[in-house]
Amino acid sequence: MENLIEIKNEYRSLDTLHNFLKTVPSYECSKEYDIWEQRTGANGQIARCIVLKKSSMHAIKIFFANENTVKINYIIPNKLMHAYFGKSVKARRNIIEIIAGVVKQLLLKGSQEKAFEELEQVLRKVAA
């Protein structure tokens, strides 16, 4: 699950967006290195993103796709849970891994979509 959102001029940096999201009650917000996609910045180092977390199983990752648009992706913020429940990026998987991945996605899909939509609405407050 992912989406692109154009944001207002006053929130066009990770720091200002992070400061706004820290004030939203009921959610935990942090600025972290993007370990989920391992994107690199202009200087060749791992890029940073904002993680807006609902629980240890539901969060969105926010980063700038361009100067006025942010891209949001659903993630599992807990690294251990992400390793087990997250999407496998291995080039080759055996049949058991494929079947287990399909079963996990079917069981989690509803709750993940609901959490993504809820967290996306928080970010829509700064949409242009």
Alpha helices by DSSP H, the chain = 14-22, 79-85, 95-123
The parent domain of residue 95 ranges over 2-126
Percentage with pLDDT > 70 across the chain: 80
Domain count, the chain: 1
Which segment, 19-28, 85-94, 108-117, is predicted with the most confidence on average?
19-28
* Position 84 pLDDT exceeds 60: no
Q: How far apart are CA 74 and CA 51, in angstroms?
A: 10
Residue 39 pLDDT: 81
